[in-house]
Amino acid sequence: MNIQNISKNDREVTVTLSSDELVKLCNVLYYARDKYDGDNLYHEIKSDLMIARDISQYGKIDDTTLSKIIKERAKAANPYQTKPSQEF
């Protein structure tokens, strides 16, 4: 991980991650799912990192991962919904 910029005023951090670091972060988020299941920010971060992970590793997003990303985005939009409105 390379921290490139930290802005207290904008409350933003710019970092560069390797593919291996993305995989580790995604794994950590996977194991934290029970604790943060009702948190929309958790689901947004998880889906964004899944996209970055697959594109950096494989150059594409496969159907299985796309289905998981859609489910995470649905949970981010409605964090207390038990199932996405559509199954993929």
pLDDT one-digit tens code per residue, 1-53: 999 999 999 999 999 999 999 999 999 999 999 999 889 999 999 999 999 99
When pLDDT is cut at 50, 70 and 90, the band that residue 82 belongs to is: low
pLDDT(88) > 50: no
- pLDDT value for 22: 95
When pLDDT is cut at 50, 70 and 90, the band that residue 81 belongs to is: low
- pLDDT value for 76: 87
Task: Write down the domain spans for the chain.
Answer: 18-77
For residue 59, the SS3 value is: coil
Helices in 1-88 by DSSP H: which ranges?
19-31, 33-36, 40-58, 63-77
